[in-house]
Amino acid sequence: MKAIEEVVTLQVPATAEYVDLVRVTLYGIAAKMGFSYEAIEDMKVAVSEACNNAVLYAYEQGSSAAPEEQSVEIKFVKKFDSLSIIVKDNGRSVDAVSEAPQTSPLHGKKIDEIHSGGLGLYLMQALMDQVEVLSNAGTQVTLTKRLVRSEELA
């Protein structure tokens, strides 16, 4: 039997006011799939971080994209056992690995010892089962969460 994959696509302007729409859409899809409240909340935080990065950094001053082209595309890819959320912009490409702080773990550090750049990637990795970042023409972040069904917990 071939795995069925359904894709829901949302395209929004690259402004902060539309991040809530992405979160509400995610909630609806994840709840229908049977994800727990805690898993949905984790996914909402991770997708908010990915969308906020696109809004804040992809179309900064000097971006070659015209204002009407400054959008973020979000694809929700439903599979039997997982949900992937793909957040893609066509703005300035960011090398997430080199931009993330090259420091030791955050545990035990004072707040003034932590650098803000790149923490979003750590947060997404902590909340999701898999995170992939591709930077080519724009940036694409794929966040995947596996669905744990109640009978699997027993």
Q: 65 is written with which tokens?
A: 């994209």
Among 108, 119, 102, smallest CA distance to 45 is for 119
- Which one has a higher pLDDT value, 60 or 70? 70
Task: Say if 1 falls within a structural domain.
Answer: no
| Dist CA 99 CA 58 (whole Å) | 14
Look up the domain containing 30 and give its range.
Answer: 6-153
Given this model, what pLDDT does residue 84 score? 98
Q: Say if residue 94's pLDDT is above 80.
A: no
Q: How many domains does the chain divide into?
A: 1
Would 45 be classed as within a structural domain?
yes
- The reported pTM is 0.79
pLDDT at 103: 38
**Does residue 81 sit within a domain?**
yes
pLDDT, tens digit, for every residue of 26-49?
999 999 999 999 999 999 999 999
Kindly report the CATH number assigned to the domain that includes residue 20.
3.30.565.10
What is the arrangement of strands in the sheet containing 138-146, beginning at the earlier edge strand?
A: 6-13, 71-78, 82-89, 138-146, 130-136
pLDDT of residue 101: 42
User: What is the C-alpha separation between 46 and 132, in angstroms, rounded?
Assistant: 12
Q: Work out the average pLDDT over 45-63.
A: 84
So what's the pLDDT on residue 1? 52
What are the pLDDT digits (tens) for 1-14? 556 899 999 999 99
